[in-house]
Chain A
């Protein structure tokens, strides 16, 4: 896998202090973001977080109210549009146009010679398992097939930077996997790829870097490993053999390094167990060992934070937004420090 080469060149995308307002609503609020070249980034956020607005500003579809954006080392995307492949969230095809005419048109708009496109379109259609649809009108294709054609329209000019806004929406699992393979292949070729999604498993599976924004503000920014490290699990799942509710709970509570214990009753196929929260600063491994000594165990594990947990914990904390923001910026600072 090609590592981001921040030292070699300017970053693929650099966003500095960018703000965009629509009437009263602030869609993007003083956002800073750097996408290193060659990275495969997930751009996450709940609906209405400002993802599409950010991407549209990166694409120079509309300008930011303030702040600076540079794309592939150039001050605006207008100057580097032909090097960018962009799959919008609101995407479509000309219904009456034939597939090859549509792809040729888009390719020509991006400055590729018609003769080169001819061969390339055939090859790519084979690759996305749509051989022989060149002469079909777009409206004759199924929705999933149209999505693949749209994806080809995004990459037909062999761009350096590929921005995909919700690329997986509407794809069945088979085509979703195909798209994932294509994204990985393109990444292996050294392309910088950003895709936005709200399906976190996808981001978790594919990305080596994550941005999370909400209400136009950045909540998370770092590599997957860094983020997992930051959100290191502070919870142990303990399932004693022969679970005695009162005794076992108090036994665990007394272990050094445990802050609190919660009993979880039986539910479905999950047997009754306890969830213990670690004290700040407590050594994870040492506490695990002490738990094993204290009570007879069927199972003990530290819960691995999924991106979903992090996402929900960051996004849904409404009552103490300021404190979340404070802790998040502290984390972000920590990430950058790493």
Chain B
């Protein structure tokens, strides 16, 4: 036991207690996190745009000819203030709909939102120039855009606003002919100096005008439509299980929780496994292996290495898990994270995944002399690592489905699949499935460690031609 402990401590020390590990696992993520926060808070990434100044020509052939007024309003100071206020109101409405415990914290975001949305005078000065459709010379206007007299030319025809009919779909693709707009089409010819963001504003204004015109033609009040759009249906879902009711949040992020948890385990297992492979190769390559074997048995060394690097993997899980929990707390997702018991299960699955994969990695490391020879023996490892990804969407969509259940009891995939299922807030894994999968999974681990120990024992003192996978199986039989 003492020898295993000494070997494990060394593995941990030389891997995790080094500047390189600290930089890779702590500093880099912290810096990225801090940078994102900093950039988000200061708006450094918002590029400094020159204010839009100039004229926009509008040729409006619609019945009401409201486009000119609408666009003028869009670019007037009052209009922009009104738009900002509407956005803030929408945000406040949304916060008011949150559960009370989340509402208070969300309120903190309002000053920041106000600062970002707030309409300050940024020097925007745009004149909307209406052109009489009957007198408009579109070619000449285009030339004026080219010459820089106008920022843009907007052309809307009767066809643009006509209520669509089923045969419109047969009209074919859009033409470039400004005099000949198809159903639902309108044109914008713009100068290079027009910022794409403003182009979006203009487009939205035109769309709104076209839609409102259509609603009116159809006898519907556009204000009613707006209210309908703003008040989309809200589901209040509750998972009713034997252990009690669980609130089912509807946010998109929650859907990706299983993916996040699987990646957390995946990354830490792979990191630990890679250190194992490299470490074993180093001990072989530097010929220190036989020195070690004079003090410990190959199996003791193997287990010591597995434990030591397992702790490294756990450290990585700990670091990222803590960051994840902090982030979840900040964005009010703490409630959807798995509960205490589930964390214990997940820890067990982490060890299962790690020992299974780690044993394979260390066996490969012991069998070969150089890293590039390891590629040939990598197939079983790649296989175990890819399946969870192949199955991921199926399991995320249907955590209680047949696929999810089958692969819950297949040792190489058990830990990954079970972690995905456990971290899906809307799903509750039956206790017996957890129990059986733990049994099957750890039985698989035992077999894999046993195989690895045999390969390790033979491989560590063999140099020269690397074995094939079939050759490795022979070793297992021989040892």
Contact = CB atoms under 8 A, between A and B. Distances in A.
Interface of A: 56, 59-62, 78, 81-82, 84-88, 90-97, 105-106, 108-111, 150, 153-154
Nearest to A85: B294
Contacts of A62: 457, 461
B294 A88 contact: yes
B294 A81 contact: yes
B298 to A, nearest CB: 8
Given A59-B293, A59-B294, A93 B288 contact: yes
B291 A106 contact: yes
A210 to B, nearest CB: 24
A88 B291 contact: yes
B443 to A, nearest CB: 27
Contacts of B457: 62
Interface in B448-464: 457, 461, 463
Contact of A91 (B3, B6, B282, B287): B287
Given A94-B282, A105-B10, A86 B294 contact: yes
Interface of B: 2-3, 6-7, 10, 14, 282-283, 286-298, 457, 461, 463
Contact of B461 (A56, A93, A150): A56
Interface hub of B290, B293, B463 (most chain A Cβ within 10 A): B290
B6 A108 contact: yes
B286 A105 contact: no
Contacts of A109: 3, 6-7, 292, 295-296
B309 to A, nearest CB: 16
A49 B2 CA distance: 36
A93 B294 CA distance: 14
Contacts of B296: 81, 109
Contacts, number: 71
A78 B297 contact: yes
B294 A90 contact: no
A111 B5 CA distance: 11
B232 to A, nearest CB: 60
Contacts of A86: 290-291, 294
A61 B290 contact: yes
B179 to A, nearest CB: 77
Nearest to A62: B457
A174 to B, nearest CB: 24
B287 A106 contact: no
B461 A153 contact: no
Given A56-B461, A109-B7, A109-B296, A95 B291 contact: no
Contacts of A106: 291-292, 295
A61 B288 contact: no
B47 to A, nearest CB: 46
Nearest to B283: A94
B291 A105 contact: no
Given A59-B293, A60-B297, A90 B3 contact: no
A150 B291 contact: yes
Contacts of A97: 14
Nearest to B304: A109
B9 to A, nearest CB: 9
A237 B77 CA distance: 123
Contacts of B295: 81-82, 106, 109-110
Contacts of B6: 105, 108-109
Nearest to A82: B295
B2 A111 contact: yes
B18 to A, nearest CB: 9
Contacts of B291: 86-88, 91-93, 106, 150, 153-154
Contacts of B286: 92-95
20 contacts: A59-B294, A60-B297, A61-B294, A62-B457, A86-B294, A90-B287, A90-B289, A91-B290, A93-B286, A94-B14, A94-B286, A95-B286, A96-B14, A106-B291, A109-B3, A109-B6, A109-B7, A109-B296, A150-B291, A154-B294
Contacts of A90: 287, 289-290, 461, 463
Nearest to A105: B10
A92 B287 contact: yes
B3 to A, nearest CB: 6
A81 to B, nearest CB: 6
Contacts of B463: 90
Given A59-B293, A94-B288, 10 more contacts: A61-B461, A81-B296, A88-B291, A88-B294, A91-B287, A93-B288, A105-B6, A108-B6, A109-B296, A150-B291
Nearest to A153: B291
Nearest to B457: A62
A106 B290 CA distance: 12
Nearest to A159: B294
A56 B287 CA distance: 15
Contacts of B293: 59, 61
A245 B288 CA distance: 61
A88 B292 CA distance: 10
A86 B298 CA distance: 15
Nearest to A97: B14
Nearest to B2: A111
A207 B373 CA distance: 43
A105 B6 CA distance: 7
A57 to B, nearest CB: 12
A96 to B, nearest CB: 7
A235 B297 CA distance: 51
Nearest to A61: B293
B371 to A, nearest CB: 16
- When A and B form their complex, which 5 residue pairs have the shortest distance between CB atoms, in order from nearest? A92-B287, A86-B294, A88-B290, A109-B295, A92-B286
A81 B287 CA distance: 19
A90 B282 CA distance: 14
Nearest to B295: A109
B429 to A, nearest CB: 43
A81 B7 CA distance: 16
Contacts of A111: 2-3
B50 to A, nearest CB: 55
Contacts of B14: 94, 96-97
A92 B3 contact: no
A32 B252 CA distance: 75
A105 B296 CA distance: 12
A87 to B, nearest CB: 8
A90 B287 CA distance: 6
A92 B283 CA distance: 8
A6 B286 CA distance: 39
Contacts of B287: 88, 90-92
Nearest to A60: B297
Contacts of B292: 106, 109
A138 to B, nearest CB: 9
Contacts of B2: 111
Contacts of B283: 94
A95 B282 CA distance: 9
A294 to B, nearest CB: 60
A108 B463 CA distance: 27
A60 B287 CA distance: 18
